Amino acid sequence: MSDEHTETTPAWIENTALSAPALLGAAAGLLLGDLMHRGARRGVGLGLGALGVAMLVPIVFGGVRGLVTGPKSRFGVRRKIQRIRDAGICAPTYDEVDEELREQGLI
């Protein structure tokens, strides 16, 4: 029996945690939108939109990288096979006693 405890978070909790900041931001935007000047709203909106896109770039990049080099891709399978092959190759060990005996001509 294994003593390992793996704790998995249900998908609905993760989805709620990810969508909550967006919903709060939208609510704040609706409430504060009328208080700001039109030009200020446009600048703040564009700035926040650019910030949102910048925050999504690492997620998109990680997803694309996973598709290209992931364990189920062609490149990922080749890399895994090469690692398995390379694991059996080890550098020859240097033995000082053998080297001395060879120099003396005894081996």
DSSP secondary structure string for all residues of 68-83:
HHSTTSHHHHHHHHHH
What's the pLDDT at 90?
67
pLDDT digits (tens, 9 = 90+) for 52-89: 788 778 888 888 888 887 778 888 888 888 888 887 77
Phi, psi of 99 (to 5 degrees): -65, -40
- Looking up tokens 């895994």 gives 80
pTM score > 0.85 for this model? no
Q: Where are the domains of the chain?
A: 14-88
Residue 7 has pLDDT above 70, yes or no: no
Yes or no: say if 35 and 27 are a contact pair by the CB < 8 Å rule.
Answer: no
